[in-house]
Structure 1
Amino acid sequence: METTDSLTITVCVSENSVSPNRLTIVALIFVVTAIVGFIGNIFVILGVSVSQKLWNPTGLLIANLAVADLLACVMVPWHSAAMLSSNCDMPPYPKLICDTVAVLVVVCVGCSMYTLAVIGVNRVLLLSRHPAYQYLFTKGKLVLIVIGLWAIPLAITVVPIALGLGSVGYNPKFRVCTQMSEPKTYDKILSIGMCPIPYVTIVVCYWRVYVLLARHASKMAQMNPVDQPLSSADNHLDPDNGKVHVSDSSHSVDGIADERSPNTGSTHSNIQTNISKRQVEITKNLFYVVSAFVICVTPYAICLLVEASDPAMPYTASLMLFNSCINPVIYATKHPYFKQVFRCIIKCRWHEVPKPSRFLKWWLSRSWCFPCKDVGRVSI
């Protein structure tokens, strides 16, 4: 037995286990991740629930990403409990919980990867006004997409276990519930199944987005003198519905996701040259989210493939799970509509929530739900 004097926590040390100081540091990172990530992702889900302004393909995919991150944050404290337990041989909870935690963490990370890839496809099709956008991102197909985003990582995680290529459970070396295989056959299956397709999709999509925005900026620079406004689209941005009205067309471009407006051939080139500032802001926000995810997850994915990576595994795992609490911070500081909704929620100004949902109207119509003074100001 060794005791970390500064925290007065008794930590067991087995022959091949990671040092107790390292385990304590990782366990504390897990605790911080769980608290910050739980609160932040609740805000994201609540924001989508109360404002219809976020009810579009991009907003719903972000909500799905928040659900995956929230579930991962709920699983993280179980790792901390195992790391700080005085028993080296088993976690301080039943094996069923341990196995469930191990599977759900992998599935949630995989779901996040594939969700970010689909968001990338969504942004490319939206910004380019491609006809496939109207076909792919309808309500019915969006439900199937979300189901697939969970089913694919679940199959990649569970099928190899059923085939005897690996297992999940308590790893006494790292003191966590995770996947196990010797040699790293199962780890390699997870890394290859979860990473290459989403990574390639993300790189291709955001490179295409960069090309589209650069081309748009070049056209706007040629069309407008330096002392004139950037574009007619910017001058006609409607802050209430996020739509940019084009002066020489009867159509409008939705700043987030114009899933209802037709995309006819006669207006395709005209709309394509009028990308709104809101679309650019939201796309940049999502690029920050993708960049943070890649930075946090890639080291762990590499460790899964490298045989002699065990010393770095606890730190790369903590970095990977820490990503679950980063996204809400990015939304709160960079996303124009989430920032607005978050401000209303934090200040309890529910009457200022843009396009309140039926759920919010019903909730505020009950005086016993919220003691806020401005409840009566919401139009129902």
Structure 2
Amino acid sequence: LTMSTYDEAELCYPHLGNSSCRKIVRSHSVSVLLYIILSSISVLTVTLNLLVVISISHFKKLHTATNFFLLSLALSDFSVGFVWIFQTLLLDGCWFLSEGWCVFNAVLTAVAASISVGTVVLISVDRYVAVCDPMHYSTKVTASRAKISIVLCWLCSVICYTALFKDNIKHPGRFNTCAGDCTVYLPFVSGIVHLFLDFIFPVSIIVVLYVRVFVVVVSQAQAMRSHVKMGKFHVSQKVNRSELKAARALGVVVVVFLMCLTPFFIVTISTGFAAINTSSLIFVLCLVLFNSLLNPVIYVFMYPWFRKCVKCILSLQILKSGSSEVNVL
């Protein structure tokens, strides 16, 4: 009797018997700790990225091409904050929501991650042009072109992943092995497309561009030092210095992004794509999602304007008339 009760306690749906999935059994204290950590990350991710969105949207001085790319990244990271809620629900290995919500979770996660990847590529291109071709930057990278690029990035991600997950969208729950399971099916060809679109192709572009930027940064830094020694430090060098600082800040974003993204693709490649059980990928998936919290944290340390904006927002100064004209740079 005791053994039977113990077995039932390990099932997601005890009344369904053998057709139910088994729970991941943890001690009560460990489960509570994990729930608190994941819930805190979700709240922080949503809050910090919302602050970035409000800052760039409200203050007109921040309406530049580079900041619009940061706004796109913050919006995708903001949506990822909500995906964290689903990961919290999967902690014990059981999915208690409907099959439709399971597919929605998978598609939203993929779309948000894809938009983040696309935006990081756009940021890399932006920094490459700013550092390597500063004379033509203002004509090549305009606010309107940045907006068009962002819209295309979002549209392509939504269309692409709706197509890749079409079998799951048409037949939600079809690939579940037991009650309480949340498994999505990605055919091998779709998996390869996903790998190229969201990892190999964009990461190659990012690495090549940032290697080029790094080479230019080093050469410009040496040139600046020689100009300072000769007493020929002009405004142009100061402009270059601000661009180099921006490149360094966004370089940190890119490196952290790659560190968080790579383990997920290594695991999905090793499993051969096909049926992906969400609970079995929870650690590497959480690493990808955790990147969405790290981005605004990086801004706090690297961008003085973000700290000024946060003070204005939290002190409710943005509610005053004309606050959008304030120079936060």
Normalised to the residue count of structure 1, the TM-score between the two structures is: 0.68
Per the alignment, residue 237 of structure 1 pairs with: none
Residue 47 of structure 1: which of 46, 55, 68 is its match?
55
Aligned pairs (5 A) from 1:116-155: 116-129=120-133, 133-155=137-159
Q: 2:234 aligns with which of 229, 232, 235?
A: 232
Contact 1:168 1:178 in 2 (8 A): no
Q: Work out whether residues 102 and 177 of structure 1, in 8 Å CA contact, stay in contact via their aligned partners in 2.
A: no
1:192 and 2:193 matched: no
Residues 308/143 of structure 1: CA separation in 2 closer, same or farther (3 Å cut)? closer
Shift of 1:172: 6.4
Match of 1:364 in 2: 320
**Residue 226 (structure 2) aligns with:** 222
> 1:314 maps to what in 2?
282
Residue 106 of structure 1 pairs with residue 110 of structure 2 = yes
2:38 corresponding residue in structure 1? 30
- The aligned runs of 1:280-299 (5 Å cut-off) are 280-299=244-263
Shift of 1:139: 3.5
Q: Deviations over 1:169-219 (max 9, x none)?
A: 58668x7756324x7554443222211221011111111111111111111
SS at match of 2:145: helix
Which residue is equivalent to 2:165? 161
* Distance (Å, rounded) in 2 between the aligned partners of 1:100 and 1:288: 31
> 2 CA distance for matches of 1:93 and 1:164?
16
Q: Which whole-Å CA distance do the structure 2 matches of 1:184 and 1:26 have between them?
A: 33
Further displaced range: 328-337 or 183-192: 183-192
- CA offset at residue 28 of structure 1? 5.3
Deviation, 1:2, is: 6.5
Helix, strand or coil for the counterpart of 2:260? helix
Deviation at 1:43, TM superposition (A): 0.9
Cα distance in 2, alignment partners of residues 97 and 282 from structure 1: 40
Equivalent residues of 1:30, 1:322 under 8 A apart = no
Once residues 221 and 32 of structure 1 are traced to their aligned partners in structure 2, the CA distance between those partners, rounded to angstroms, is 45
Report which structure shows greater RCO (CA 8 Å, sep ≥6): 2
Q: Report the CA distance shift for 1:150/1:48 in structure 2 as closer, same or farther (over 3 A).
A: same
> Is the Cα–Cα contact under 8 Å of residues 281 and 336 in structure 1 kept in the other structure?
no
Residue in 1 aligned with 2:304? 336
Mark the runs of 5 or more structure 1 residues left unpaired by the alignment: 4-8, 234-245, 247-272, 351-359, 367-374
Amino acid at match of 1:120: S
CA contact (8 A) 1:12 1:20 kept: no
Conserved in 2, the CA contact under 8 Å of 1:83 and 1:176? Answer: no
- CA apart distance, 1:18: 7.2
1:283 maps to a residue whose letter is A
CA distance in 2, matches of 1:135, 1:168: 48
Structure-2-length-normalised TM-score: 0.78
Contact kept? 2:111, 2:157, Cα under 8 Å: yes
Gaps of at least 5 residues in structure 2 are none
CA gap 1:130/1:80 in 2 versus in 1, 3 angstroms: same
Give, in angstroms, the shift of residue 153 of structure 1: 2.1
Query: How far did residue 306 of structure 1 move?
Result: 0.8
Task: Give runs of aligned pairs for residues 245-284 of structure 1, distance below 5 A.
Answer: 246=236, 275-284=239-248
Identity among equivalent positions (%) equals 21
Q: CA deviation at 1:29?
A: 4.8
Change in 2 beyond 3 A, CA 1:82/1:274: closer
How many equivalent pairs are there? 307
